[in-house]
Amino acid sequence: MVAINFARTMDLSGQVYADALPHNHFSGVTGMFDFIQGTAMSPGGKSIIVIPARSIDSKTSRIIQKADRVSPVIPKAFVSYVVSEFGMVNLLGKNIEL
């Protein structure tokens, strides 16, 4: 099973923020987490998060240091492949060095 999902914002620890803005709701409840869990339980399953690295006007990054006042949709423990226009990384099982 392969699941490809879109992330609106992501922080450097790997948490995905897909459905909310600080003072505005971006979308409804999604099945993103269900599909990511499904790929984790599927033999050979892969979960891919696609994110544009910059905003539409290219003035701000969508990969941020830390999100304030927004809850992650996908916790960092469940994020594996992340793809942007600048490349791909597999974060699954990686630790966070301070």
How confident is the prediction along the chain (98 residues), in pLDDT tens digits per residue?
999 998 888 998 888 987 655 555 555 556 788 899 999 899 999 999 999 999 888 888 999 888 877 778 888 888 899 999 999 999 888 887 75
Instruction: Flag whether the pTM goes above 0.85.
Output: no
Report the topology of domain 2-90.
Glutaconate Coenzyme A-transferase (3.40.1080)
Angstrom distance (rounded) from CA 42 to CA 51: 24
Angstrom distance (rounded) from CA 71 to CA 58: 24
Angstrom distance (rounded) from CA 80 to CA 14: 9
